């Protein structure tokens, strides 16, 4: 009876391919169960209360944080991903708590200044094992959060950690045991993790478009060549001619998201019916993801992605920001590597620790952890404290 109740999701009996906490592979350090919350609710709660999650508020997506208060940050992005992911998870009768936990944690390891910061840090770390933001997210929840008396990190379940590690190089996967196996031998994560992954793509494409229109980098007319936008634009204009600009944009974008989500739901439902997986391990053994867009929707999604790359991410105003951001990250890294006494005391203590076991690679890893943990504004302030001579006094 107890098992039956726990297999129920939102009042329904969950299907055998949904992750079920009763068959979870558990936590690295075993803990007693909570009386009221599911294991994946506990994971979500630990993520929401983490320092890394709070810092997402001041980390960039595309537009540097202080450029304007109207734009998305990694925090609002993560909340939007969680909203989309939960809708899909509920539609497919999957584990909503797990899906939400993965979605909220998926960007924890991002550096300041979005992809520009990540590229710069990866370049700096080239001779010291590299920097991957997915792996950094895992490092945060497994090691870097300092919250608990009995363990480092947040001690999350295997299934949440599996979902957080979206990509990983084979070299790094070898050091991760069971969690890294699929990157070496092939295979997929749970359907809940696949949903969080796709919800991320849906969220960032559409809100980068929204932010770019708001920032004036694009005009609605420029998007006539993007079919998914153009069709929704015509729909809105026919239904509400003369609607004010901001409402037009919102009506178009919410319809675009709705189309994508509906497509993922129907396509994935058919794929699940055709494959008929009898367990989560059947899902993991699949050669390709089961949660996906239809082919025609994938083409449209890629068309929008290409448009954004060309017209937004490579826009000269964005490029100026990212070039500057890369310089900040790389100058901070090289200064700390040259002189670790520039680091605050707790980071310096970790340098001494890791240098003993890993040599110069250890020092570089601590510096990368320190920089990756910074918000945009903290990185700019820290750069000023180290390089700005007018701040000597």
Residue 332 neighbours by CB distance under 10 Å: 24
Nearer to Mg ion, 135 or 332 (CB): 135
> Which residue ranges make up the site for Mg ion (CB under 5 A)?
107, 200
73, 61 Cβ separation under 8 angstroms: yes
Q: How far is the CB of 227 from Mg ion (least distance, A)?
A: 24
Nearest to 43 by CA among 176, 162, 194: 162
> Residue number with the shortest CB distance to Mg ion?
200
C-alpha gyration radius of the chain: 22
Tokens of residue 74, six digits: 């990694």
User: Facing residues of 27 across strands?
Assistant: 157
CB of 323 to Mg ion, least distance (A): 22
Q: How far is the CB of 30 from Mg ion (least distance, A)?
A: 31
CB proximity list for 349: less than 8 A, separation 6 or greater: none
| Closest CB 57 distance from Mg ion, rounded Å | 15
Return d(Cα 351, Cα 343) in angstroms, integer: 9
Question: Which of residues 19 and 108 has its CB atom nearest to Mg ion in the complex?
Answer: 108
**Minimum CB distance to Mg ion smaller for 97 or for 107:** 107
Nearer to Mg ion, 260 or 343 (CB): 260
**Shortest approach of Mg ion to residue 78 CB, angstroms?**
7
From the CB of 77, what's the least distance to Mg ion, in Å? 6
Q: CA-to-CA distance for 274 and 143, rounded, in angstroms?
A: 40
Per-position DSSP letters for 254-294, written without gaps between them: HHHHHHHHHHHHHHHHHHHHHH--SSHHHHHT-SS-SS---
Three-class DSSP category at 103: helix
Of 74 and 350, nearer to Mg ion (C-beta) is 74
Query: Nearest approach, Cβ of 102 to Mg ion (angstroms)?
Result: 11
Q: Which is nearer to Mg ion, 107 or 382 (CB)?
A: 107
CA proximity to 369, closest of 361, 381, 377:
361
> Between residues 96 and 200, which has the closer beta carbon with respect to Mg ion?
200
Say which residues have a Cβ less than 8 Å from residue 339's Cβ, sequence separation at least 6.
none
Kind plus residue range of the DSSP H or E element containing 131: none
Cβ closer to Mg ion: 134 or 155? 134
CB of 115 to Mg ion, least distance (A): 10
Paired with 12 in beta bridges are 9
Find all residues with CB under 8 Å of 249, minimum gap 6, and list them: 210, 213, 214, 220
């Amino acid at each position: 009876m107890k098992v039956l109740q726990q297999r129920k999701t939102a009042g329904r009996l969950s299907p055998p391919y949904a992750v079920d906490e009763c068959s979870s592979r558990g936590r690295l350090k075993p803990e007693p169960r909570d009386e009221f919350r599911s294991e994946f609710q506990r994971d979500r709660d630990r993520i929401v209360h983490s320092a890394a999650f709070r810092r997402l508020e001041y980390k960039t997506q595309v537009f540097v944080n202080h450029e304007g208060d109207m734009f998305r940050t990694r925090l609002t992005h993560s909340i939007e991903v969680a909203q989309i992911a939960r809708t899909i998870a509920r539609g497919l009768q999957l584990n909503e708590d797990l899906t939400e936990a993965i979605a909220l944690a998926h960007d924890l390891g991002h550096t300041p200044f979005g992809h520009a910061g990540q590229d710069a840090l990866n370049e700096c770390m080239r001779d010291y094992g590299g920097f991957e933001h997915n792996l950094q997210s895992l490092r945060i929840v497994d090691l870097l959060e300092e919250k608990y008396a009995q363990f480092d990190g947040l001690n999350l379940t295997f299934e949440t950690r599996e979902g957080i590690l979206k990509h990983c190089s084979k070299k790094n996967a070898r050091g991760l045991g069971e969690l890294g196996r699929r990157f070496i031998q092939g295979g997929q994560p749970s359907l809940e993790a696949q949903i969080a992954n796709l919800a991320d793509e849906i969220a960032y494409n559409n809100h980068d478009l929204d932010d770019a229109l708001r920032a004036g980098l694009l005009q609605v007319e420029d998007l006539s060549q993007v079919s998914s936008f153009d069709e929704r634009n015509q729909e809105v204009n026919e239904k509400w001619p003369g609607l004010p600009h901001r409402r037009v944009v919102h009506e178009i974008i919410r319809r675009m998201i709705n189309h994508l989500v509906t497509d993922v739901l129907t396509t994935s439902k058919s794929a699940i019916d055709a494959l008929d997986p009898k367990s989560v391990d059947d899902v993991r053994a699949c050669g390709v993801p089961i949660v996906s867009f239809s082919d025609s929707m994938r083409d449209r999604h890629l068309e929008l992605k290409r448009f954004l790359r060309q017209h937004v991410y490579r826009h000269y105003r964005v490029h100026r920001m990212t070039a500057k951001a890369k310089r900040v990250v790389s100058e901070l890294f090289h200064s700390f590597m040259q002189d670790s006494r520039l680091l605050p005391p707790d980071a310096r203590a970790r340098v001494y620790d890791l240098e003993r076991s890993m040599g110069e690679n250890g020092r570089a890893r601590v510096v990368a952890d320190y920089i990756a943990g910074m918000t945009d504004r903290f990185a700019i302030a820290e750069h000023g404290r180290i390089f700005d001579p007018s701040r000597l006094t």
